């Protein structure tokens, strides 16, 4: 029997290693939890990121769950009484991937607060990963005052924009620290700090993004997660926009399920109120069961999303 040449064997092993290294970060049936402040809340609400990623992986049956909250920082996440912890929420969701974005508001505290930021962020990452059970993605914050078009729209006072621009120098230090933290914690780092669109209004106030900004940010995120982004993916034709509307509707259902309008009656300090219980049998609480009726609606929307995504180029 003829021996297989050593050189060819090594080449084959190398080729297999490269192929495995090219595997996408995401896996089939992943549940992706989004964490952060207002920009991450809006990213979920407008659906651009989910649309772009779903188009790239239409047969992965990805599920997206927004756990971001306006005002969240690595230092503080204010919630109602008895609101579940990160660990409880992620376990209940069956989350396999956590995508987090912090650092924009925290950098306004200056470079002196950077060690405190890193320490707090690392503790959160450890909680989210649950000993390596979940894959972690750390996004950079988006730089302040990205587009020149913004200042043209706001000619009254340039002072706020100038102050924010100066904060970008400190933000660069925070971004470097987040990159190093990702390496230390074996997380994926995606840099979305510069959306590269000076001629487009990517921010409405120098801080929060516009729909154009979220489209660009979602594209950068999807590309960092292994998606292929070209000019076509950045344009919303009629079919893609119909899919986005289904995504937006699904995410609204999730929002109503997760952020219950009257949490005090569900799990807070008002659970004993008569209106929180069945009028025929006060021992029965109708509210928790009614809340769970959202989940079949969400799952139905998700199946529609996957079906429509499979039909897109």
Q: What is the architecture, at CATH level 2, of domain 22-311?
A: 3-Layer(aba) Sandwich (3.40)
Task: Return the domain boundaries, the chain.
Answer: 22-311
Dump pLDDT digits (tens) for 60-108: 999 999 999 999 999 999 999 999 999 999 999 999 999 999 999 999 9
Alpha carbon distance 188, 32 (integer Å) = 14
Q: Helix 238-258 crosses helix 48-56 at what angle (to 10 degrees)?
A: 120
pLDDT tens, 157-166? 566 777 888 8
- Predicted confidence at residue 21, as pLDDT, reads 45
Helix axes 159-184, 114-129, angle to 10 degrees: 50
pLDDT tens for each residue of 205-250: 889 999 889 999 999 999 999 988 766 556 678 899 999 999 999 9
């Amino acid at each position: 029997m003829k021996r297989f040449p050593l050189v060819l064997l090594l080449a084959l092993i190398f080729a297999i290693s490269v192929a495995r290294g090219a595997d996408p970060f995401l896996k089939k049936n992943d549940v992706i939890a989004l964490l952060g402040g207002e920009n991450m809340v809006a990213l979920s609400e407008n659906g651009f990121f989910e649309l772009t990623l779903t188009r790239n992986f239409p047969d992965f049956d990805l599920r997206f769950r927004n756990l971001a909250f306006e005002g969240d920082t690595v230092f503080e996440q204010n919630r109602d009484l008895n609101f579940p912890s990160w660990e409880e929420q992620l376990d209940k969701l069956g989350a396999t991937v956590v995508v987090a974005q912090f650092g924009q508001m925290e950098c306004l505290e200056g470079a002196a607060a950077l060690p405190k930021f890193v320490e707090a962020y690392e503790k959160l990452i450890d909680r989210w990963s649950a000993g390596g059970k979940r894959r972690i993605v750390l996004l950079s914050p988006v730089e302040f005052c990205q587009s020149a078009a913004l200042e043209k729209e706001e000619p009254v006072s340039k002072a706020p924009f100038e102050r924010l621009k100066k904060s970008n120098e400190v933000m660069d230090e925070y971004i470097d620290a987040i990159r190093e933290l990702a390496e230390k914690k074996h997380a994926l780092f995606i840099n979305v700090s510069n959306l590269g669109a000076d001629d487009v209004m990517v921010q409405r106030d120098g801080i929060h993004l516009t729909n154009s900004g979220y489209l660009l940010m979602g594209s950068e995120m999807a590309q960092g997660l292994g998606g292929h982004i070209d000019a076509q993916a950045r344009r919303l034709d009629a079919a893609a926009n119909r899919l986005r509307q289904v995504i937006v509707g699904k995410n609204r259902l999730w929002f109503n399920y997760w952020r219950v309008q009257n949490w005090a009656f569900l799990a807070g300090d008002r659970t004993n109120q008569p209106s929180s219980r069945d009028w025929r049998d006060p021992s029965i609480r109708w509210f928790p069961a009614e809340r769970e009726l959202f989940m079949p609606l969400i799952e139905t929307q998700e199946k529609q999303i996957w079906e429509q995504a499979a039909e897109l180029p």
